[in-house]
Amino acid sequence: MRGLLPHGQEWAGDVLIRRLEPRLELIRAWCQPYQVIADVGAHEGLLARWLALDGHTVWATELTPGGFRELCRGVAGSPVVVRQGNGLAPLLRVPVDVVILAGLGGQTIRAILRRHHEMLSRPVYIVQPVPDALSFHQVVVAEAWTILRADIVRYRGRYYPTWMLAMTPAGQRDDGIDAFIPQEFSQAQEYRGWLERECERRRIALRYHDNARLMDELRRLEDELARIEGN
């Protein structure tokens, strides 16, 4: 008999494991059609363990020796393969289908993706930058990634925009995408709430200093809100 479960835990088969936050559940669901998954910056490896329980072959990495020790402790006893290293470096020769980059800053993710040309395989990337997601849209456009999926999760008052990206084949760049307004999320339930939050952040910042760029961004976000309200 299994009795009462510790708070936040559940049984997956005969393994007792902590539940994932909704933002990580989205990533787990997106991984479903793929076999080999790599989680870069996997921390204690909770998502990696769930993915392994789902039947995927999973690689998990951490940057620092301390982080790597924590990852090894977290996935002990599971089939998750662990590596220590920076970004894609430990995975360059691994035939992965999906690389997850979640919970890292947008600039860190951008720097990591710079090495994607060196990957043996041509994986798709699931990217969930925290906290600077709006500026990450500009990276997606500037570096001409193809957006396969885009959705936003709201959890405990925070928004987690998430992309699935693939390399764009040469010559197929779409120059019609707005560099600032992330319209790839316009079908997401949380799109309006996220835009309102981004407006609010700018209004607060503008109370303390006049800034032409922030003013312009606020105007464009408000225009986008008016556009979706008109639809």
Ligand X SMILES: C[S@@+](CC[C@H](N)C(=O)[O-])C[C@H]1O[C@@H](n2cnc3c(N)ncnc32)[C@H](O)[C@@H]1O
**Tokens 């990337």 correspond to what residue?**
125
Between residues 113 and 221, which has the closer beta carbon with respect to ligand X? 113
User: Which span sits near ligand X by CB under 6 A: 5-13, 63-71, 135-143, 217-225?
Assistant: 63-71
Single out the residue of 17, 53, 63, 177 in contact with ligand X (rule: CB under 6 A): 63
Between residues 45 and 182, which has the closer beta carbon with respect to ligand X? 45
Single out the residue of 26, 31, 36, 40 in contact with ligand X (rule: CB under 6 A): 40
**Length of the chain as a residue count:** 231
Single out the residue of 19, 25, 34, 86 in contact with ligand X (rule: CB under 6 A): 86
Rg value, the chain, Cα: 19
Cis peptide leading into 131, omega within 30 of 0? yes
Tokens of 141: 């456009």
Single out the residue of 37, 57, 87, 99 in contact with ligand X (rule: CB under 6 A): 87
The end-to-end CA distance of the chain, in Å, is 54
Supply the minimum distance, in Å, between the C-beta of residue 194 and ligand X.
18
> Is residue 67 a contact point for ligand X (CB under 6 A)?
yes
Supply the minimum distance, in Å, between the C-beta of residue 19 and ligand X.
13
Beta strands in 173-218 (DSSP E): none
Supply the minimum distance, in Å, between the C-beta of residue 102 and ligand X.
4
Q: Which of 197, 91, 222, 97 is nearest to 148 (CA)?
A: 97
Phi, psi of 11 (to 5 degrees): -90, 130
Supply the minimum distance, in Å, between the C-beta of residue 66 and ligand X.
8
Between residues 48 and 195, which has the closer beta carbon with respect to ligand X? 48
3-state secondary structure of 158: strand
Q: Which of 119, 179, 187 is nearest to 152 (CA)?
A: 187
The Cα 46–Cα 85 span in angstroms is 19
Q: What is the DSSP letter of 183?
A: G
> According to CB under 6 A, which residues from 156 to 215 bind ligand X?
none
Supply the minimum distance, in Å, between the C-beta of residue 157 and ligand X.
17
List contacts with ligand X (CB under 6 A).
40-43, 61-64, 67, 86-87, 102-104, 108, 112
